[in-house]
Structure 1
Amino acid sequence: MARRHHEPAGPYSAGDVLAVHLQDRATDFLRSLRLHREAGPGGGDASADAAARLRRSARRISGTLHTFRPMLDREWSDALRPELAWLSGTLAREHAYGDRLERLLAALTRLSGTPVPVPVRGGVQVPVRDGGRVPVGGGGRVPAPVPPASQVPVPVPGAGAGAGAGAAPASVPGQGQGQWQGRGQGDGGRGGAVAPAGALALGAAKAGALLERQLNLARTRAHSAALQALGSARFHAVADSVALLASEVPLAGAAAGPPSALGPLAAEAGARLLDAVGALPLLRAGHPYNAEALADGLTTDPAPQPQDAPWHQVRLLLRLHRYADEVLRSVPDAVPDGAGEGSRLLSAGHALDRHRDASEAAAAASAAARTPRITPATAYALGVLHADQRHEVEAARYAFQRVWVREEVRV
């Protein structure tokens, strides 16, 4: 039996290092679960913070079980890992819907110049100014500066604009066949006047209300699913397994080797990450404005953007690599890698998190634009919002490319 606080007579083994790391994560899980129960379902920020810590602990345990599977009892780890992934995913949905709504409403305010109230989890409405959240008491509003008309894209005349109810601008997948045109884009055989900012402000309020209704409904359902999951027999079985993990880690015979035996397994996780990054179009992502990729993002296919999937996979592999690196850094008397590598991984991870958030926000705007019987002004605002979030996707890819390639050149 591997114990968390042990004083081995001989040198540390790979199993000792792995057991201590997993037991620490299991202790964090149990502590977060206790805080979540103390906060209660209506605990507000305390409950949300405890749920976030619970998710982080579950992800780290699951990632460690995945990377160092040969060192652990295979049947036990294969049974626990998917259960932890289920728990983490279930708890993450409510938080994701709330953040997505705030992101989209903030973008609507920035694009339209009309303050769109952003609902905060405590129930207080917070308007947005200059892309940032400014708390105002009593539900007051702070006027946002109106962007110049040249910054507001409009559909080319004759491309579906002005159609009946339910018509949408061309940037909304599945609706319209025109192209977005802005001032100062040069000759390209696609002329078109630029609409005033008021055209976007006209539909921003209704677009915001539609997004709030849809995403709040999804968030409420996710909250109910999370509460149901936390009270289920399935969750209690997971909690019991983690509680046992805090005192005993089922190890395989390979864990009796020296701590250096952990290195090749962590290296495999790094190799998988490098292979996935090598498949990304980093050369194309190295351009600050990538019109070709943006056009691909405005496809009429309502399915998730296929071009986003490789980036999401890199994000998951990067997380596994970081968790494996945490295990290696816990090896006694080990000389950790330079701080630059850890900083690089964190910066790259933040860029990929931004990519995921913007991609999902764009998908939410696209889904809202497919709502039947919405007005053309509402569809127009949602189209501009969708295009804006696809621009954010490209900006995140550019940021990741800059971090990754620059650090590789330094090495």
Structure 2
Amino acid sequence: MAQQHLDPTDPTAEVVTGDALAAYLRARATEFLRALRLHRETGGTTAAGAEESVDAARLLRRSARRISGSLHTFRPLLDPDWSEEMRPELAWLSGTLGLEHAYEARLERLLLALHRLSGATALPAQAVDVVAADRRAAGAALVGGGAARAKPGVGEAPSGSSGPAQATPAAERGNLTVGAAKAGALLERQLTLARTRAHSTALQALGSSRFHAVADRVAVLASEVPLTALAHTTDLHPLAAAAEERLTAAVTALPLVTAGLPYNAEALVHGLSPDPSPHPQDGPWHQVRLLLRLHRYAREVLHGGNAQVDVRLLAAGRALNRHRDASEAAAAAAQAARTPRIAPATAYALGVLHADQRHEVEAARFAFQQAWQKETVEAV
């Protein structure tokens, strides 16, 4: 079965030297500084300002990831000391700024799943509205220096409230419906607390000397890229091809035959284990997601602003993002189920929720397998 080559390994491709890498890094550094300025200038007193602040933080993470990824892929063409010092700092910044959004999205995903599983006839508007309001408040606080905080009592829904799920006459949903409201409230308490802590950590990070040092280095990068002496005449295609080969090797090691089935009972057996450690099958898939991102960034460097959208890579990336979200949501449900002295109905609802998210993990793996194998089938 012949494997079609992507652009980085095309022997007829035009030579692209380190000058293109320098231009790409300068452009990403400029985006970083522009996002930082927008983040500082955006007023947090209006909802529109809060939304702009969230967008600015997202752009900061986006540019930081691309700079860090390019430093990793093309590190032989860059000053080694500078590159090795810069990469972990950018990874720290991107990870710190992304935690709050990750907890928020995880809570919304779990509440909507509880609604779907419990058979409610209406969306859990109250819970989702609380999440949206927290998003706006968090954005305002991040701009205004932390004046706004999460609403007190979020997630502490009284046992008599409607919660994320309503009662249903179906007998088979009885136990789930009884525990769904309290399970939702427990998840809200735990994940809102985690999100609030992540918000405070992000505030501290943005005001720290460590962040200012990163911003200063990015400002220098916007005008001066520390390339090696040979970078100006070195072709970037071999380094980009190496990034693609690492991705291909990692995908080859995945159990794609098993992922080709819409239901992977073996994975669910491991997923329902009481072992609190990370799921043993998830790690390689997360690694493929990171390698796919590096491959995409390498393509951006080679093509500059003229890179065509690769539908196959886009679909594969979306499937892997869905895989990560479902995996982390399942872990959050399992962690909540280990809370001491919770009611049996609550534990039951959380167990069903955990199994549902592990099914989502398997569905995402199946979607990735379908997207990734499409090119191979077309190349036969």
TM-score normalized by the length of structure 1: 0.77
Find 1:301's aligned residue among 275, 281, 284: 275
Q: Per-residue deviation at 1:247? A: 0.4
Confirm or deny that 1:270 pairs with 2:273: no
Confirm or deny that 1:91 pairs with 2:120: no
Q: Per-residue deviation at 1:410? A: 1.1
Question: Which is greater in Rg?
Answer: 1
Partner residue, 1:400:
368
TM-score normalized by the length of structure 2: 0.83
Find 1:207's aligned residue among 175, 183, 188: 183
TM-aligned CA distance change 1:390 to 1:265, over 3 Å:
same
Q: Output aligned runs, 1:59-208, within 5 Å.
A: 59-114=65-120, 115-116=123-124, 117-118=127-128, 119-123=130-134, 196-208=172-184
Q: Which amino acid aligns with 1:32?
A: A
RMSD between aligned residues: 2.5
Distance (whole Å) between structure 2 residues aligned to residue 326 and residue 254 of structure 1: 21
Any gaps of 5 or more consecutive residues in structure 2?
1-13, 137-160
- Structure 1 runs (4+) greater than 6 angstroms displaced: 140-148
Question: 1:111 touches 1:147 (CA, 8 Å); kept in 2?
Answer: no
Partner residue, 2:352:
384
Structure having the higher helix fraction is 2
Q: Per-residue deviation at 1:284? A: 0.3
Distance (whole Å) between structure 2 residues aligned to residue 380 and residue 277 of structure 1: 36
Partner residue, 1:54:
60
SS of match in other structure, 1:306: coil
Any gaps of 5 or more consecutive residues in structure 1?
1-10, 126-139, 150-194
Partner residue, 1:251:
227
Partner residue, 1:365:
333
Distance (whole Å) between structure 2 residues aligned to residue 53 and residue 225 of structure 1: 19
Equivalent residues, number: 334
The C-alpha deviation readout for 1:235-256, integer Å capped at 9, x for no partner, is: 0000000000000001102212
Q: Output aligned runs, 1:10-25, within 5 Å.
A: 14-25=17-28
Distance (whole Å) between structure 2 residues aligned to residue 351 and residue 281 of structure 1: 15
The C-alpha deviation readout for 1:42-98, integer Å capped at 9, x for no partner, is: 742211111011000000000000000011111111111110000000000000000
The C-alpha deviation readout for 1:219-269, integer Å capped at 9, x for no partner, is: 0000000000000000000000000000000110221215xx100000000
Partner residue, 1:29:
32
TM-aligned CA distance change 1:306 to 1:312, over 3 Å:
same
Q: Per-residue deviation at 1:141? A: 8.3
Partner residue, 2:196:
220
Q: Which amino acid aligns with 1:262?
A: L
Partner residue, 1:189:
none
Distance (whole Å) between structure 2 residues aligned to residue 289 and residue 146 of structure 1: 29
TM-aligned CA distance change 1:308 to 1:147, over 3 Å:
farther
Question: 2:176 touches 2:349 (CA, 8 Å); kept in 1?
Answer: yes
Question: 2:167 touches 2:177 (CA, 8 Å); kept in 1?
Answer: no
SS of match in other structure, 1:44: helix
